[in-house]
Amino acid sequence: MNLNQWRQRDIVTTLFIGGSGRSGSTILGRMLGQVSGFTFVGELDLLWQQGLVENRLCGCGVPFRTCDFWSEVGERAFAGWESLPLDEVRELAGAVSRHRYLPFTVAPKVWPDYARRLDRHSELLGRVFDGIREAAKCDVVVDSSKFPVWAYLLRHIRNVDLRLLHLVRDSRAVAYSWAKTVVEPGVPHTQAFMRQLHPARSAMHWMAFNAMCHPLKALGVPTLFLQYEAFAQDPFRAMQQVMRHAGVEPCAEDLTFLADGTAALSQDHSIAGNPMRFQTGTVAVRPDTDWKTSMSSQDQRVVTALTLPLLVRYGYPTRTRAGGSAS
């Protein structure tokens, strides 16, 4: 399908990467953004707060409000971001996107006031997606928000063809990553750090966020399940699978940026995400198993116990051994 045919449909295919944080969504999203016809926008659920309010750095390295790409998106969507009723948008976001409202995203008519807010929020977001498609001249928008309720909200946007990529990483690896101290380079003029979570709390997040992804398939959202470990082991094959899931048949030219265990990444316009979103050039793509030797056995046991049902479902090993390793 060529771009002119796509535009006539007036539909934005949106590949939503769902699951738990620290599961590799940033590098996967960035790699997809290298493919012709795809554009990676990072965690779009943070557009209003981290983009427009806090004016954090775009993936291109400049503050959001002075980024040429996002300025064009705002112009096409609202005749400029200054025309957007930001206070209304932030109030709407808080009124529709909390996890406690998730049941109402499935049956909004049960609560008429919620349905009204949802319709208005969906209208505004739909204009943003139109703006992204037009500014990027793309066929597929890749959104790595992961926040499950966000996917439920995207279902209600009339011009969005939602596809879920459920990305899962071993819960022990995720917990180990959340416990690290990581500098957040996206906050200008100050030294900030990414949020940290205790292993037990990250385990509960992992269970909840992954579990909430499963009903989307039953609700009619085309879903592809992908383990981060499989992606890192064979990124070429995984990228082909994901492209087909997005409705694009891969060809040899699409993945020339991939080499043996590396990816050549160019600059993008991502909102939020792992600090590696600012890296360009050759980036290693490999399974990260540091947690097996560096994470304490006690933490491994705690996380394993709290996430056992889904570890079994996803086929991960469930036994831990003394000395900071898992069998």
For residue 326, is pLDDT > 90? no
**Contact present, 229 and 237 (Cβ < 8 Å):** no
Cα 136 vs. chain centroid, distance in angstroms? 18
Q: Tell me the per-residue pLDDT of 117-163, one tens digit each, with 9 for 90 and over.
A: 999 999 999 999 999 999 999 999 999 999 999 999 999 999 999 99
Which segments within 149-274 are labelled E, that is strand?
160-168, 183-184, 192-193, 223-227, 258-259, 262-265
DSSP three-state, residue 94 = helix
Residue 10 has pLDDT above 90, yes or no: no
pLDDT band at 6 (very low <50, low <70, confident <90, very high): very low
Q: What is the pLDDT of residue 185?
A: 80
Residue-wise burial string across 226-241, b where 16 or more C-beta atoms lie within 10 A, e elsewhere: bbbbebbeebeebbbb
For 177-189, write each residue's pLDDT tens digit: 999 877 788 787 7
pLDDT single digits (tens) 19-77: 999 999 999 999 999 999 999 999 999 999 999 999 999 999 999 999 999 999 999 99
- In the chain, how long is the greatest CA-to-CA distance? 60
Per residue, the 3-state secondary structure of 16-29, as one string, reads: EEECCCCCCHHHHH
Amino acid at 298: Q
Q: CA dihedral in degrees (37, 271, 122, 109; nearest 10)?
A: 120
User: Hey, is 6 helix, strand or coil?
Assistant: helix
CA 205 to chain centre: 15
Sorted by where each begins, the domain ranges of the chain are 7-255+266-326
Write the CB contacts of 91 (distance below 8 Å, at least 6 apart in sequence): none
**Residue 73: both structure tokens together:** 């998106």
Please compute, for residue 56, the number of CA atoms within 13 A of its CA located in the half-sphere on the CB side: 23
Helix orientation angle between 86-96 and 112-136, rounded to the nearest 10 degrees: 120
C-alpha torsion angle, residues 109, 113, 114, 118 (rounded to 10):
90
Stretch 250-279: mean pLDDT? 94
What does the pLDDT read at residue 84?
Answer: 93
**How many angstroms separate the CA atoms of 26 and 29, rounded?**
5
d(CA 326, CA 100): 35
Q: What percent of the chain has pLDDT over 70?
A: 95
Residue 168 CB neighbour total at 10 angstroms: 27
Residue 107's Cα: distance from chain center in Å?
A: 24
| Fold adopted by 7-255+266-326 | Rossmann fold (3.40.50)
pLDDT computed for residue 182 by the predictor: 78
In angstroms, the CA 313 to CA 292 distance is: 20
pLDDT for the residue numbered 4: 38
